[in-house]
Amino acid sequence: MTNLISAEGLKRLQDEFDYLWKVERPKVVQGVADAAAEGDRSENAEYIYGKKRLREIDRKLKHLGGRLKVLKVAVPPRNPHAVCFGCWVTYEDEEGRERCYQLVGPDEIDVTAGRISIDSPVGQALLHRKVDDEVFIKRPGGDLTVLITSIQAERPTPPPTQ
């Protein structure tokens, strides 16, 4: 798994860690303590749910803490000549449909926002390729051949609709 992340992605993960540690966890701990003070814990739904939620928070904190220790911020070049981490790549498929994705680390994947993992089959096939390269992508959903039409450091603005 790639340990690269954008500066924005690192900030999002750190903010999530801080929120869970400083806000959410203390609130749940207090709720568990209050529920425990009510007596019989075996049939106390608030106590049982609170303990379950606390385990979930601790599991997430452990995961985030581990990732934050190993992640390295990567800055894409200003004018990329080849597909690399952080750049936006636009390609056209065999039917003429155009797609645009940013290659990111596994901690930043958001397909609806156009961010795919550099470790994914599509990311791996596009990596180090150049504009006008024809790329064969072996995907679980079926193979695809695409033509890279642009590589940019910033998200391209979509053309105006008519």
pLDDT, tens digit, 9 for 90 and up, residues 38-96 = 877 777 888 889 999 999 999 999 999 999 999 999 988 888 899 999 999 999 998 99
Phi and psi at 24, nearest 5°, equal -65, -50
**CA 73/CA 62 separation, integer angstroms:** 20
Domain limits of the chain? 4-73, 88-152
Domain 4-73 belongs in CATH node 1.10.287.180: yes
Whether the predicted pLDDT of 155 surpasses 60: yes
Q: What is the pLDDT of residue 124?
A: 94
What class has domain 88-152? Answer: alpha beta
Residue with tokens 């608030």: 46
Q: In this structure, what token pair is assigned to residue 39? A: 């007596």
Whether 4-73 shares its CATH topology with 88-152 is answered no
**CA 141/CA 152 separation, integer angstroms:** 27
Q: What is the pLDDT of residue 11?
A: 96
Q: What is the pLDDT of residue 50?
A: 92
Which is more confidently placed, 143 or 19? 19
Q: In this structure, what token pair is assigned to residue 16? A: 């999530």
**CA 156/CA 97 separation, integer angstroms:** 16
Enter the pTM of the model: 0.78
